[in-house]
Amino acid sequence: MIKLVVFGNRVGPILGRHPWVFSGALKQIPDGLDGGSAVQLFDETGRFLAQGYFNSYSQIAVRIWSWDEKEEVDQKFFENRVKAAYELRQNYLEDKKTDSYRLINSENDFLPGLIVDKYADYLSVQFHNPGIEFWKKEIVSALKKILKPVGIYERSDVRNREIEGAEKQSGLLFGKVPDQVKISENGYKFLVDIIGGQKTGFFLDQRDKRKALEKYCAGKTILNCFSYTGGFSVYALAGGAEKVISVDVSQSALDLAKENIKLNKLDPKKCEWVCDDVKKYLGLNPSGELFDVIVLDPPAFVKDRRKIKEGLFGYRNINEAALKLLKPGGILVTCSCSAHVSLTDFRYMLTEAGGRARKTVQILENFTHGIDHPELVAFTEGDYLKCIFAKVS
């Protein structure tokens, strides 16, 4: 195993269990290292610090997956990682009527760069960089042994790979995966497109927020923006909503959402489907209708830390527009999945939106990640999701 030395004044984050080591922290990086090569880190006195894999000659040189010097990186290593992650979800998932969740949450489950989402008997995986991809054979083997899935499909078509200098790729890795997989979430049924859907197929990280929405919906009119395949729409109707308008730019997503309404035996007559750009729809407000509840669950508006200001401007605009469409005492459910936007920044944005809309915004509930998205306390870069439930008057 390759040994690398960390400057004495740069060991703090490693000891604090931060999983990234930047190139400037290392005294020397040998030429010719392949991405994925197993490495051990030592301080200048020879004290062991951690071990991981060599990422690249770019900014993040090493990604750490263990702080145990005696832990060997072999097939058993990956099996133990997968088993530990699986047992965590099995032990603590609050609803046993749920068969789909994030199984491996990258750095936070000590397999940096790897995402594995479990959809019933199928797995959707993402290798975010060439370093973790180096261990693909061992990882797939471990997943097969521990989970015994019917099929494993790769969705390594994320933007991160291009930043890391790798081509996007996707395809079947094991078994078979149908065009649509039926899953159970809090007792509700959803059809998921693992092969062609957004991300790995479904937004599993919003499970607890969808459940929280139910109590606000009895007898209400709901506007679900960026509705995708209708997750929030299903919960709204199940919670007793009188009418739900779902807006998304993708017709194929709306078509699948309609199937999810039928699958849960909910009344399709209470649904209205709008294929349009949400920003345009909110700005025009073609019907002039006001709503009791509005859900804003947009894609990440800030994918680059250099564009935070621009992204916050986008969030402010859609939130201001939504606030103007709420009835007095209405509920706004507003989300951000931009890692570069802090909760403090997001709240300040909402303050500005409320001021511009001349509305008072009272936070009722705050949400971040569910139990299947654990976070290493030092890894603040992985803290991306924010969701606020607010009463507006």
303 contact partners, CB below 8 Å, separation of at least 6: 159, 338, 340
- Nearest residue to 276 (alpha-carbon basis) of 245, 244, 302, 319: 245
Distance in angstroms (rounded) separating the CA atoms of residues 243 and 240: 9
Residue 56 lies in a domain: yes
Q: Are residues 101 and 47 in the same domain?
A: no
Q: Please tell me the distance from the alpha carbon of residue 135 to that of residue 154, in angstroms, as a whole number.
A: 14
Q: What is the mean pLDDT of the chain?
A: 95
CATH number of the domain residue 131 falls in: 3.30.750.80
What is the enclosing helix (H) or strand (E) of 282?
helix 278-284
- Catalytic residue from among 225, 335, 337, 387: 337
pLDDT at 108 over 90: yes
- 297, 353: one domain: yes
275 is catalytic: no
* Overall domain count for the chain: 3
Structure tokens at 28: 């020397």
**Domain termination site, one of 39, 66, 93:** 66
- The tens digit of pLDDT for each residue in 147-187 reads 999 999 999 998 777 777 778 899 999 999 999 999 999 99
Same domain for 164 and 226?
no
- Give 216's pLDDT tier (boundaries 50, 70, 90): very high
- Residues 108 and 86 grouped into a single domain: yes
State the DSSP code for 361.
E
Answer whether residue 198 is part of any domain.
no
* Chain mean position to CA 361: 26
Q: Which two tokens stand for residue 241?
A: 């909503």
Q: Bridge-partner residues for 22, per DSSP? A: 60
Residue 81, CA distances (Å) to 78, 121, 142, 377 in order: 5, 19, 9, 18
Helix, strand, coil: what percent of the chain each, to 5? Answer: 35, 30, 35
State whether residue 197 is helix, strand or coil: coil
Boundary of a domain, candidates 66, 87, 110: 66
The answer to whether residue 378 is domain-embedded is: yes
Give the CATH number, domain containing residue 42. Answer: 2.30.130.10
For 130, the domain range is 75-181
Does the pLDDT value for residue 283 go beyond 90? no
**β-sheet bridge partners, residue 360:** none
Residue 147 maps to a domain: yes
**pLDDT at 26 > cutoff 90:** yes
Q: Does residue 286 register a pLDDT over 70?
A: no
Residues 229 and 335 in one domain: yes
Asked if 209 and 367 touch (Cβ cutoff 8 Å), the reply is yes
Beta-carbon count within 10 A of 46 CB: 8
Q: What is the CA radius of gyration of the chain?
A: 22
Q: How far apart are CA 290 and CA 329, in angstroms?
A: 12
54 and 80 fall within a common domain:
no
| CA dist list (Å): 120 to 114, 160, 179 | 19, 26, 14
Helices (H), 94-248: 130-133, 136-147, 159-163, 207-213, 231-238
Residue 190 lies in a domain: no
Q: Within this chain, do residues 28 and 174 fall inside the same structural domain, yes or no?
A: no
Are 47 and 91 contained in the same domain?
no
What is the sign of the dihedral through the CA atoms of 111, 113, 114 and 115? positive
Within this chain, do residues 15 and 82 fall inside the same structural domain, yes or no?
A: no
Residue 187 within a domain = no
Closest CA to 340 of 375, 296, 384: 384
220 and 368 part of one domain: yes
- Inside any domain, residue 217: yes
Which of 183, 117, 121, 179 minimizes the C-alpha distance to 154? Answer: 117
Residue 231: the pLDDT is 97
In a domain, 194, yes or no: no
Percent above pLDDT 90 for the chain:
88
For residues 149-184, one letter each, b for 16 or more C-beta atoms within 10 angstroms of the residue's C-beta and e for the rest, the string is bebbbbbbebebbeebebeeebeebbeebeebbebe
- Residue where a domain stops, chosen among 133, 148, 181: 181
Quick one: 112 and 261 in the same domain? no
**Contacts of residue 91, Cβ cutoff 8 Å, sequence gap at least 6:** none
Q: How many CB atoms neighbour CB 327 within 10 A?
A: 16
Place of tokens 């990882």: 139
Please check the confidence at residue 355 and state whether its pLDDT lies above 80.
Answer: yes
109-143 tens-digit pLDDT: 999 999 999 999 999 999 999 999 999 999 999 99
Q: Say if residue 171 is in the same domain as residue 207.
A: no
Partners of 100 in beta bridges: 119
pLDDT in tens, 266-278: 999 999 999 999 9
CATH at 307: 3.40.50.150
151 vs 92, more confident = 151
- pLDDT classification of 259: cutoffs 50, 70, 90: very high
